[in-house]
Chain A
């Protein structure tokens, strides 16, 4: 088994301007925030971000990394609308591909299975199809002849996900109630990077939870980053809940340029994940 352990900076070194990057998790839940912050601090630009969006999208928009967002929602859950993403949209700073949540799943699945699209009824009659020429329809070749939406494959240059546990070979395990779509993000991507709360010996993973929790296998990953509190401030139960007070402070930083500079100086410019943990007190 190979040893795929790397650092956040190693991951950033694998990325290039203009790449399409998929980010796992859901809303403000189990987001690979230490990797996201590493990108936010880098010189990368013009990225397309594909995400069931939360503060990952907002933070990368606020730091000017994003050209396009492929999304169905961007939410902080307890704060329904992501304020930095709203600013980016309302100032026209980013373009978007608007998708239905389920169409997004089909796009990842199509990319993972290496087909150009998957057929669905989802999107018919809505402006997702009617006002976005890049989303097209297909006619069933069978006797029904039904016209369906061809949900386009969401092929990713890179995927970033955060799991609870993993091993040096790049197997990963989730311990909360929902795997989200992290395995699909990995399978849809050319380069796959997973942060974990803790790297363990392979034989110790099985004891953490039922067999089904071993959702990410090492065929799906190229690099693993050990990042305790790597999802902070998003939810990563059972290891830690969402840091609501911190999230409120983050959301407040979208209110003015001064507030953003102050937040950025304190929590981003402080340095890498170890420094961040010290500043936050994790």
Chain B
């Protein structure tokens, strides 16, 4: 199955866009959280970024690629990494995490802690989890499967993950390990490659228009004159996704074909 056949699904473009986030990372812990992020991370390691280290989601680093979801494939453990050791990895900077976001603003400030007031939230969500430490200590990207103005907001209710404006306000020492690399969504890819680090449209997934993304974003998105298009997977990459990493199409459940 090749891209030219037109059979690449939206979810598969999302997977490719996630994998591209890890390009050039070398021998660090790639820590994508969520179904499509995990597929994308494992694809990156199985193809163009072979030195990446990845967890089994619990207390070990495992070699791969092995499938997402329940599997009989035996995972080969290469190291022990209990929760306590994870902080050693994060705080030494040898990690690129991809987290979710219930809200995110144009500087990349992220919230998944709770929505509403501090003392009595309208909706209690995850809590701060590791977001403050992740964002200030190692590279962070975000995955948003439902690109909408409810997620892309002018102001987040609570800042759990630190964005570029707040990092800049801390000064060069405190912010020297801060990097929000990409935001991958079901519609396209965003980054912060602008002079003031405000969010920019990097590419649209094939089948999505720039106007659709602008309309689904609740703040003024920087839109360059020549917005790219998310690249096609190679035949080998598509086979890895479909046969090896996600044989049960969990990706299609997370991002259905429109």
Q: Is the CB of B132 within 8 A of A146?
A: no
Per the bound structure, the CA–CA distance linking A95 and B137 in Å amounts to 28
Q: Determine whether the beta carbon of B126 is less than 8 Å from that of A73.
A: yes
State how many angstroms separate the Cβ of A219 from the closest Cβ of chain B.
20
A125 in complex: contacting residue of B82, B124, B159, CB < 8 Å: B159
Contacts of B80 in A (CB 8 A): 177
Q: Does residue A144 face the partner (Cβ distance < 8 Å to B)?
A: yes
Bound CA–CA A179/B158 (angstroms): 32
Residue total for A at the interface (Cβ-Cβ under 8 A): 42
Interface 9-mer from A127-135, A196-204, A224-232, A274-282: A127-135
B residues 163-177 touching A (CB-CB < 8 Å)? 166-167, 169-170, 173-175, 177
In the complex, which residue of chain A has the Cβ closest to the Cβ of B126? A73
Interface residue stretch chosen among A10-18, A37-45, A100-108, A163-171: A100-108
Cα A80 to Cα B114 with chains together (Å): 13
Question: Are B127 and A177 in contact (CB-based, < 8 A)?
Answer: no
Q: Mark B82-95, 1 if CB is under 8 A from A, else 0.
A: 11100100110000
What residues of A have a CB within 8 angstroms of the CB of B126 in the complex?
Answer: 73, 75, 80-81
User: Which residue in A75, A90, A101, A121 is a CB contact (below 8 Å) of B123?
Assistant: A90
B-side contacts of A32, CB under 8 Å: none
**A residues less than 8 Å from B121 (CB atoms):** 89-90
- Contact in complex: B127, A91 (CB < 8 Å): no
Interface size in chain B (residues, C-beta < 8 A) = 45
Q: Within 8 Å CB of A26, what residues of B? A: 83
Cβ contact within 8 Å between A90 and B124 = yes
Verify A144–B87 contact, CB threshold 8 A.
no
CA distance A130 to B82 in the complex (A): 30
Structural contact, B91 and A122, CB atoms closer than 8 A: yes
Docked pose: A104 CA to B52 CA in angstroms:
28
Name A147's closest neighbour in chain B (CB-CB). Answer: B174
A73 smallest CB distance to B (angstroms): 4
A215: shortest Cβ distance to chain B, in Å? 11
By the criterion CB–CB under 8 Å, are B83 and A180 in contact? yes
Is A178 an interface residue, CB under 8 A from the partner? Answer: yes
Q: Is A92 an interface residue (CB 8 A)?
A: yes
Q: Given A72-B129, A91-B120, A177-B58, do A124 and B82 touch, yes or no (CB 8 Å)?
A: no
Name B50-76 residues within 8 Å CB distance of A: 58-60
A27 to chain B minimum Cβ distance, whole angstroms, is 10
Chain B residues with CB under 8 Å of A80's CB are: 126
User: When A and B form their complex, which 4 residue pairs have the shortest distance between CB atoms, in order from nearest?
Assistant: A92-B120, A126-B132, A122-B133, A125-B162
A-side residues, CB < 8 A to B, are 26, 71-75, 80-81, 85-86, 89-92, 95, 98-103, 105, 120-131, 144, 146-147, 177-181
| B residues with CB within 8 A of A | 58-60, 80, 82-84, 87, 90-91, 113-114, 118-133, 135-137, 158-162, 166-167, 169-170, 173-175, 177-178
